[in-house]
Structure 1
Amino acid sequence: MVRTSFHAYYQARQLEQLSQEQFVPVFASSDIQIYPFQIAAASFALRSPYQKGAVLCDEAGMGKSHEAMLVINQKWLEGCSRILLVIPNVDLLQQWTEMLERFYTVPYVVLTNREQWRQNTSPDTPNAFIQDALVITTYDFAADNEDAAKVVNWDLAVFEEANALTGVYQEGNKQAKALKRIAGESFKLLLTGTPIEKNIMDLYGLIWFIDETLLPGEKEFLARYLRRPENYPELSSQVSRYCFRTLRSQAKRYAKVPERVLMTVEYTPSSQERKLYELLNAYINYREKKAFPEMDPYDLALRLLGLLGSSTAAILQTIKGVIKRLEQMENTQEELAQWQEIQAVAESITQDAKATELLTVLKQGFALMKKVSAKRKAVIFTESVETQKMLQRLLSQEYTTLSYNGSTDYSVIHRFKEEGEVLISTDNGAKGFNLEDSAFVIHYDLLYNTLKMEQRIDRCHRLGQQCDVLSVAFIDKNNFADVRKLELVNKRMLVTNGVFGITDDVLGGFTDDVKGAFPVIAQRLRSKAQVEQDFQCTLDTYEEDNRHTVAAAEDVLFTTFTKELADKVKLSPQYIDRKAQELNNALWEVAKWFFERYNEKNTDCRFVIDESRRTITATTYDQLPVLFYYWTGSRNRPYRSQKVYGMSKDFKPKAGQITLSSVIGRGILHELECSDTGSLTVPDIEEPCEIGLYSVTLTSASSRTEQAVLCGRTESGKVLDEDACKEILSLPVQDCTQEGHSAPHWLKRGSRPHGLDELVPTKELLAAEMEKLSPAQADEMERMKQRVAAEKAALSWELNALDSQVQQAQAELEAVTGDRLKRLSAQKRVTQLRQEYMKRQESQFFDAMRLDVELEEKIKSFAEKEKLTTKVQREFVVVIDKNAKENN
């Protein structure tokens, strides 16, 4: 409850900064029902300050307009007042205005004709697009008035039925190009239920509208993806960053995705390996462990026994590290002797039993691959780099073996596709790579994470794979860590069918007899020809359904609302309702304080406050008064009072509803003022103290956040944290005095340093904000790298196209017989093309080097610009005592 001007001011500052708790104030300011997928879509759109736009492409009837309004409201609450909503026609515009009137309190202006233009201009503001409100217009009106519209530096531009913009990259599409110029550097939110109406180039146009540099050039994109659904998974890594799609149902896709066949090998460790396990287990259960003094036995078991389950090489590296650490510590002779014994046993193991089983699996598996016409290629995944190195040494004796752990470039993957037989990869290779050349996946180490296990298999079990995929895993059922991993994988798989987007199991076919199991596997693994034949039968069976085969395959391009995503949505309906009520109660108290103070200071109008109905009515006035002035972006505009205000969700007119996003609500919070200093008499306080309110603003080139912080200190010198200050301010106040300059937040001036200034936790706030921004910054730097990669790919595409011309000319030359002149002409063309190819190849090399240098500079510049700076503004300091202090 508001008690003094200091309390009211503090509450106003809190409410004004609630935009940081994303979407909660939006729901408090509107009358809509919350749906998790709408929160997920809006969160997806606003997940990064560096994102230039998003495409919300839900199926019809799933609420794209409400998702857009969540984004609009959130931006509005964050202080972004330049928001443009562009709709194809007036009919749809009417639907939007009806929705706004019914559910939302963001002010809006409609501009679709000259009369509306005239009504929203004045001699001081001749451009009707400059408004402190949401501007709603049509495609035609905006394009026809491009010069006026593009003058505005829009914060957010929303386009309904954005499928009309897909031809923006084409030369003749004048309207779409005009709308893109109007949107400028704003965040662009595109709404469409049909992101791909004709073909994949529609999607290209939508992304191009957001940022023409995000995807490869038109020709390259066309050649790579048009009518090539098998390449869509590759494309999805880029497109899914910008597209969010919620389906009414996840229909089964009728694309040729072969089956997967699973085998889990239960191997038996050697006697020496078992002895090593027992020694480690005994140490784990040892009461006092100086090498791991703070580690829980359960966690230590998972760590050490997990490394042992990977390989002796992996655990040996840790053993040596522990011994080195113990040698530098005092009074560790007994424990050191234990670890030295463990090391001796580990070093006596010349080859792991699991590695021996792997050799058998590879031999049997490659024989089976030959039988089903699959390539002689296998992908082995390990968790440990040491295990990877050990396997590299072992397998290189018999197979062309390559390793990938993220420390090398893509050339390793390319070499594997061209000439390799075995690729040993850490889980860095389980993300994004297309390894459909291999139909043989081996989980040398199990994982706790089911999704990551699925990602491993998906490198091979994917669109474009021509054969059934054999997936083999290894497990030691007597190893605690392996058993725990198995339990977690099975538990997660049983949650619900496909909740994580997994439609197949990741483990199965348990056996302790590898040689005996392969004949059984051979009965299940279909040949390449059989896979194709079965697929054709499926096409015949589902002929009607498969008219939409490509459309179904295209769904992989979008981020969809899965159970996994739903679990990340923390805003439950119950939480929203409770929190919205709390916010609106606080806003009502601040609004009452504002109008009570107006009644005290002015005689031109009296506002009657009805607590039971939560209304505020203007009475005894000749003319409704101006309550405050607000900045429109170009000038200050007076805000004249309504006749009546109210807090209820169904209050009419909407312009009189007091919410966090309404003009009156925002104005009250913005204009509320208090003095710089003062004193409070609080009889229940334990010890006199001082409490200060500070605003801490954190700013970078792309982000700005502001937070109200309370700091305090008792008379005896005890520091009061935020919670303690809040508790004291919640106590009943007997008396209040104000001193110094009284002003709203935006007019607060700097003053002399105060003893409480040093208590403001700027470092902690800075660290917390950096923790939030770091993933987005990393994502933006990755996007820069992908953009350069796309430019390099375009250079390669041009070179490959020229190479194709050389090959074609060579073929034409070889086809010429008898005609000497014709042969000379053909030879000349081959020579010219080869010379051009060599020049282009050299040019490509230097262009690629230039791109790498430019990328390095861009990343460096980006990091510099995005460094956060802090600004601390002291709002007020109050002295709090049991007894009123006499004024000097």
Structure 2
Amino acid sequence: MNFTPYHAKFLSYELTRQLPANSLGKFTASLQDAQVDLNPHQVDAALFAFQSPLSQGAILADEVGLGKTIEAGIILSQQWAERKRRLLIITPANLRKQWNQELADKFFLPSIILESKSFNYEIRKGNLNPFSRHDEIVICSYPFAKTKAPYIEQTKWDLIIIDEAHRLRNVYKPSNKISNAIKDATRNYKKVLLTATPLQNSILELYGLVSIIDDYVFGDIKSFKSQYSRNLEEEDYLELRNRIQPVIHRTLRRQVLEYINYTDRIAIVEEFIPTDEETELYVGVSLYLQRDKLYALPNSQRQLMTLILRKLLASSSYAIYGTLDTLVKKLEAILKKQEGTDLLDELDEDYETADEVADEWFEEDESEEDELFYSEEDLENIKAEIEDLKKFRSLAYTIRKNSKAEHLFVALEKGFAELARLGANKKALIFTESRRTQEYLYNTLEARGYKDKVMLFNGMNNDRKSKEIYKNWLKENKGTDKITGSVTADKRAALVDYFKNEATIMIATEAAAEGINLQFCSLIVNYDLPWNPQRIEQRIGRCHRYGQKHDVVVINFLNKKNAADVRVYELLDEKFQLFNGVFGASDEVLGAIGNGVDFEKRIAQIYQDCRSPEEIQSAFDSLRDELKPEIDERMKSVKSTLLENFDDEVREKLRTNQDETLRFLSRFEDNLWKVTQFFLKDFANFNSDYSFSLNRNPFPGEEIHSGPYMILKSSEGKKKSSIEVPDDTNIYRVGHKLAQRILDTCKQNTTEEKEIIFDYTASQNKIAYLEKFIGQTGVMQVSSLSIHSFDQEDYLLVACYTEEGEVLDSEMAARLFSLQGSEGNFVAIDEEYKKTLSEIIFAEKQKIISENAERNRDFFDTEMDKLDQWADDMKISLEKEIKDLDAEIRLKKSEAKKILNLENKVAAQREIKDLEKKRNEKRQVLFSAQDEIDERKDNLLNDIESRLNQKIEEKELFTINWKLI
């Protein structure tokens, strides 16, 4: 390929420049760098979040299943590329690992989960603010963000992502402690909120979420209520829609069906009846857990511990045996006056989500203190409790065969038959909530028909087979970028690869529901079923996700002898619709239950309080009636008016955006490929399919692997996710350190004045505009321009004209570098020519500066309109209070005239005087408030003004003589 250092320099600057906020090409580098498919609605949402540099953020509210995490990932990648790396993600506890893994797998972004253990470790190391990091994105849970709010507040964040943000929608209520703590801690930083349900039950929720982004969109809650809380007319909703449009972006599933295919969910219920021994064990332990006083469980966590024990009891006799043994040892330690281990830590060894559940339940946990001293009567009671626990333990030990496990073989046969009918891979993902049950099922399946076809996946992954799989994976992938150096991440990747290529069955604890992509599997078996609907949705989402080619079969186990279990399943299936249909639980349903923890607590309370089948039925009937996942018709209409755009309009926009973004991306990938070929011509062998083999490292100081590399090239009708990447191949992308070093080096190329011959006839690109210049010569100058005002924007200025003096269009002249070319001789360019080139460059520069200033003026005007509206809102609120007081005074005066008793009449007049005094004070407050509003407005204007000043940097890259042949 004919390609010059001038081509390489020009394209390297083009590949690394920062585009304006309104350009569809802004995210091209991030999209190429990420291992995600191009979906125009996600690019559109990411662009929306960046639409104004003065914006305080956005609410991305696409419906469930459209990939809001991907949208956030694109935004985070862009921030990272711009070296804005103080980034925070606040998310539900059970989604922390998923974020951590998706950022690594899809966007190659490093992140750290901060929780008590890692936070305290950092403090011990001398890091006084563990949130302050430059090399990792920080991920933490909602409760942790609340408890560490002062640390978050003092960290200068570039961007904060808040996932499942509908949890904060009641922030306008002072009683909502977590929401208000997070709002206050993040007030000064740009935020992107992710939620499918920005509006559920009340229009005030919209006010709450918008206020988290920007307190200046609306006035206070009183003014908002006075304007929008009554029965509104159509024009009121349209006014409100106009006010929230700069903040909220929403796409619906029906608007993207052209380019996203969704598969269905097929539910199978596997019913079983436990044996008499299993029933005896269940009833005995259940009655034990219902006792008023238990010494084995700490008072401060009684509700939480009871939930966990009930889940282990329902899982298997092996799971509950180990737990009963732990409880016996704890009580025996009390009698021996020894310090026992922390029960939650012990349970977490088996029930791996114990710490996460504790984190989620922490706000509402019992405040009762644990006992430190025991009376003689207590000690006698403890001895009796030990004897009871030993009986249950002995009974559990004698039950070697579980009815539920026997039905697993029947369930798998049904599931595999359904997969064969669908033409899907014969693979099953079995979920259990207990590691002991996991081990029991592994041994049972290995012994009966599935030898060497079963594997485990849990939070530790330290069993013999997992270690062997990991060891072999390291050997196979030696010298590739697939090995990250993180043992946890690499082991997870190894196990997923093994499941994909070798195993038939993966038995997983909840750890597998967090952050791994198993779309090659389409059979999920809920051996143990969580009570939290969002955890179930998370499990199914490992397989039933974008890119799944087959319908997904979901098998659920149901104990027909347990009335409570039957009613729980009925709610999850019929009320929440988790197991059937294209999308599972709708956004309205999941939004209605908040984080699912309250629902889980209600179920736990029914198991704890109800003793007879009649009590159980009555309690579940009440719960079913209370649940209102179906949003009422009026709110549906309001939601549609405020948040949704016309389908045809959206589809047309997305179709146009897709075509344009694909062109940007294709050109970007081609340019990266050309520069790489040029630079590595002596270091690598190149193939025609955008792959090459690096024979030796061109940058010895960097750790860069030799061997095969591949660009995952996007094209129309071809998705990145469908490209098969051999195990030993490194994914080559603009963010890879090899590409970064190549581009940096090419930007430093020495490019003296020379003749460059561009060969139009040998190039595949056909550019009609350039054809008329074939055979002509001329001069060209290329400069880089950077404008720093609200944001940085980079441009390449191209001045080009022929010997006859005809000036080429700047954009078309730049296309010369898409043609093949070769270097001619050194040519000293005439000073007169250079002067003309400088004049053209100057004109181009002024045009760009003017456009930038015009955009900034528009941003400024938008911000001013918002501030004016906010000021009006604040005045409305105060004026309403005065008006209400006036009305109350008139009423009191009228009532006072009717009073006959003089003493009462005087008292009434005194009350009226107090109200008049209060009204006068309110009037004074109104005047003061108007001054304060104006002052706050001035402060904001000063801040904007200081950022408006443009700082301009210009640098000449090269000047050449050109010839087009």
Q: 1:757 aligns with which of 838, 841, 856?
A: 838
Aligned amino acid, residue 158 of structure 1:
I
Alpha-carbon separation, structure 1, partners of 2:231 and 2:157: 37
Residue 105 (structure 1) shift: 3.1
Distance 1:797 1:8 in 2: 66
Counterpart residue identity of residue 15, structure 2: L
- Cross-structure match for 2:351: none
> Displacement, 1:653?
7.8
Secondary structure, aligned partner of 1:193:
coil
Return the offset for 1:238.
2.5
Equivalent of 1:692 in 774, 781, 805? 781
Asked if 1:246 corresponds to 2:251, the answer is: yes
Alpha carbons 2:757, 2:824 under 8 Å: kept: no
Please state how far the C-alpha of 1:9 moved relative to its aligned partner: 1.0
**Equivalent in the alignment of 2:862:** 779
Question: Is 1:202 aligned to 2:205, yes or no?
Answer: yes
Whether the 8 Å contact between 2:892 and 2:908 is mirrored in structure 1 is yes
Give the match for residue 669 of structure 1: 743
For residues 928 and 138 of structure 2, the distance between their equivalents in structure 1, rounded to whole angstroms, comes to 48
What residue identity is the alignment partner of 1:564?
E
Say if 2:87 and 2:138, in contact at 8 Å, map to a contact too.
yes
Q: Does the residue aligned with 2:749 lie in a helix, a strand or coil? A: strand
User: Which of 565, 589, 609 pairs up with 2:685?
Assistant: 609
Distance 1:683 1:217 in 2: 64
Which of these residues, 646, 649, 653, is aligned with residue 710 of structure 2? 646
**What residue number does 2:221 align with?**
218
For the residues of structure 2 that align with 1:782 and 1:552, how far apart are their CA atoms? 28
Closer, same or farther: CA 240–705 of 1 in aligned 2, 3 Å = same
TM-score under structure 2 length normalisation: 0.50
> 8 Å contact 2:200–2:635 — kept in the other structure?
no
Give distance in 1, aligned partners of 2:162 and 2:943: 32
The alignment partner of 1:189 has SS state of strand
Code of the residue aligned with 2:665 in structure 1: it is A
**What residue in structure 2 maps to residue 22 of structure 1?**
26
Q: 1:735 aligns to what?
A: 823
Q: Structure 1: any 5+ residue segments left out of the alignment?
A: 251-542, 600-606, 628-638, 741-752, 884-888
Task: For residue 680 of structure 2, give the secondary structure of its aligned residue in structure 1.
Answer: helix
Asked if 1:108 corresponds to 2:189, the answer is no
Give how far 1:585 is off: 1.6
Structure 2's unaligned 5+ residue stretches are 256-627, 713-719, 760-773, 829-833
For the 8 Å contact 1:2–1:590, the answer to whether it is kept is no
Q: CA deviation at 1:785?
A: 0.9
Q: Could you list the per-position Cα deviations for residues 783-810 of structure 1 after superposition, in whole angstroms to 9, with x for gaps in the alignment? A: 1111211221122122123223313322
Q: Distance in 1 between matches of 2:80 and 2:2?
A: 26
Tell me how far apart the structure 2 counterparts of residues 115 and 80 of structure 1 sit (CA, whole Å).
27
Offset of residue 711 of structure 1? 1.7
How many angstroms does 1:128 deviate by? 6.8
For the residues of structure 1 that align with 2:219 and 2:728, how far apart are their CA atoms? Answer: 47
Whole-Å Cα distance in 2 between the matches of residues 853 and 641 of structure 1? 59
Alignment match, 1:470: none
1:425 paired residue number: none
- Paired with 1:108 and 1:655, the residues of 2 have a C-alpha distance of 21
What TM-score do you get using the length of structure 1 for normalisation? 0.54
Give the letter for the 1:83 counterpart: L
Q: What does residue 550 of structure 1 align with?
A: 635
2:895 maps to 1:812 = yes
Please, which of 797, 802, 806 is the counterpart of residue 709 of structure 1?
Answer: 797
Structure-2 residue corresponding to 1:767: 850
State the alpha-carbon separation in 2 of the partners of residues 575 and 841 from structure 1: 57
Specify which of 68, 71, 75 is matched with residue 67 of structure 1.
Answer: 71
Mapped pair 1:848 → 2:930? yes
Shift of 1:608: 2.7
Where in structure 2 are the equivalents of 1:345-384 lying within 5 Å? none
Match of 2:906 in 1: 824
* C-alpha distance in structure 1 between counterparts of 2:166 and 2:645, whole Å: 19
Deviates more, 1:783-792 or 1:204-213: 204-213
Distance in 2 between residues matched to 1:170 and 1:655, nearest whole Å: 54
Equivalent residue of 1:878, what SS?
A: strand
Show the counterpart of 1:52. Answer: 56
Q: Which residue of 2 aligns with 1:747?
A: none
Change (3 A) 1:248 1:13: closer
Q: Is the 8 A contact 2:115 2:140 kept in 1?
A: no
Q: Following superposition of structure 1 onto structure 2, how do residues 232-243 of structure 1 map, counting pairs within 5 Å? A: 232-243=237-248
Which letter maps to 2:688? S
> Which letter maps to 2:676?
A
- Which secondary structure does the structure 1 equivalent of 2:219 belong to? coil
The one-letter code sitting in structure 2 at the alignment partner of 1:735 is E
Do residues 11 (structure 1) and 16 (structure 2) align? Answer: no
* Residue 626 of structure 1 pairs with residue 701 of structure 2: yes
Instruction: Say which SS state the counterpart of residue 777 (structure 1) adopts.
Output: helix
| 2:883 alignment counterpart | 800
Aligned residue pairs, count:
554
Would you say the 8 A contact 2:84–2:158 is kept in 1?
A: yes
Superimposed CA distance per residue, residues 25-68 of structure 1 (whole angstroms, 9 cap, x where no aligned partner) = 44444454555544443333322221111112233223322333
Partner of residue 726, structure 1 = 814
1:860, CA displacement in angstroms? 7.4
Q: Is the 8 A contact 2:103 2:111 kept in 1?
A: no
Question: Per the alignment, do residues 643 and 849 of structure 1 end up closer, same or farther by CA in structure 2, a change over 3 Å counting?
Answer: same
Contact 1:54 1:189 in 2 (8 A): yes
Q: 1: distance between equivalents of 2:37 and 2:758?
A: 45
The one-letter amino acid of 2:648's match is K
Counterpart among 858, 878, 881 of residue 960 in structure 2: 878
Secondary structure class of the residue paired with 2:750: strand
8 Å CA contact 2:7–2:817 kept in 1: the answer is yes
The 1:609/1:111 distance shift into structure 2, 3 A limit, reads farther
Change (3 A) 1:214 1:67: same
Q: Offset at 1:16?
A: 1.5
Superposition RMSD on alpha carbons, in Å? 4.3
Q: Separation in 1 of the partners of 2:699 and 2:882? A: 73
Instruction: Kindly indicate which of the two structures has a greater share of residues assigned to helix.
Output: 2
Q: 1:508 is matched with which residue?
A: none
Q: Distance in 2 between matches of 1:15 and 1:683?
A: 21
Deviation string, structure 1 residues 246-286 (Cα, Å, up to 9, x no partner):
34579xxxxxxxxxxxxxxxxxxxxxxxxxxxxxxxxxxxx
State the distance in 2 between where 1:854 and 1:75 align: 29
